[in-house]
Amino acid sequence: MIDYEVRETNRQYWDGAADNWFGVTALPEYGVLCVTEDELHLFGDVTGKRMLEICCGSGHSLVYQAQHGAGELWGLDISESQLRNAKRHLASNGVTAHLICSPMEDECGIPAGYFDFVYSIYGLGWTTDLPHTFRRLASYLKPGGTLIFSWNHPLYGRVGCVQVEDGKLVVQKSYFDQSDTRLQLDDGEMLLRNYRLSDYLNALADAGFVLEKLVEQTDRATLAATEGLTDKMRQAQMFPLSFIVKARKGVR
């Protein structure tokens, strides 16, 4: 069920904080100290492809797709401020895209059965209804079309779940705790849902997707680092901070 209060809290956060997130979490990066698209090539050849980005933020991933030859670009985001920044960034790179201001959970006029790719970089975890959102994303794809998304790994994104204390990793919060996390940041307040990895994979299967790849991989440089380790790097050497899913819309 859509949680309108959570969604509105987060919309207000993104509207107020958009300028602080310009170009953050965008392709070729997938996430936190995580392997990149330059290494993974999950999209393959996108020449001429119709692509829809969910939670497109400041538009940097859309520009990345344009630079790789995408044929038609659409971006959706809940925040008017993010889309204002995206318009500016796209224009300054000579890229055109259909931009839609809407929550991802809602019907908003995006054509059905139209896209070769639907993707989202650090966006889908914001949904307040995972099963409903995956069914909606499936409807946008052509049969056999591809969904790619990345998000915080639940061991890391479940704020405070695993922390570093005196150089050791300590589990401080249950993986099974699904209550929302309220985060007070310098630039506002957000509410994070706490989905488990199984919540994502089961919701994908229920929406008719076939899993092609699940990536849980810290980047090589972090894994090899021995000096100047931050807490985040120590964590990333022991478990993935982000995960990436590539799935195909099955034929039902």
Ligand X SMILES: C[S@@+](CC[C@H](N)C(=O)[O-])C[C@H]1O[C@@H](n2cnc3c(N)ncnc32)[C@H](O)[C@@H]1O
Please state the closest distance from residue 31 (CB atom) to ligand X, in A: 10
Of 61 and 194, the one with the shorter C-beta distance to ligand X is 61
* Under rule CB under 6 A, residue 124 binds ligand X: no
The residue sitting closest to ligand X, measured at its beta carbon, is 57
3-state secondary structure of 86: helix
Burial 39-75 (b: 16+ CB within 10 A, else e): ebebbeebeebbbbbbbbbbbbbbbbbbebebebbbb
* Under rule CB under 6 A, residue 14 binds ligand X: yes
Say how far apart CA 20 and CA 212 lie, in whole Å. Answer: 34
> DSSP label at 110?
P
Say how far apart CA 236 and CA 27 lie, in whole Å. Answer: 20
For the chain, give percent helix, strand, coil, nearest 5: 35, 25, 40
CB under 6 A: which stretch of 20-28, 193-201, 214-222, 226-234 binds ligand X? Answer: 20-28
Window 56-95: contact mask with ligand X (x via CB under 6 A): xxx-xx---------------xxx--x-------------
CB under 6 A: which stretch of 123-131, 202-210, 212-220, 244-252 binds ligand X? Answer: 123-131
Say how far apart CA 46 and CA 61 lie, in whole Å. Answer: 13
Residue choice 103, 157, 208, 240 for contact with ligand X (CB under 6 A): 103
Please state the closest distance from residue 117 (CB atom) to ligand X, in A: 14
Instruction: Determine which helix (DSSP H) or strand (DSSP E) holds 242, and give its type and residue range.
Output: strand 242-249
Q: Point out which residues bind ligand X (CB under 6 A).
A: 7, 10, 14, 21, 25-26, 55-58, 60-61, 77-79, 82, 103-105, 121-123, 126-127
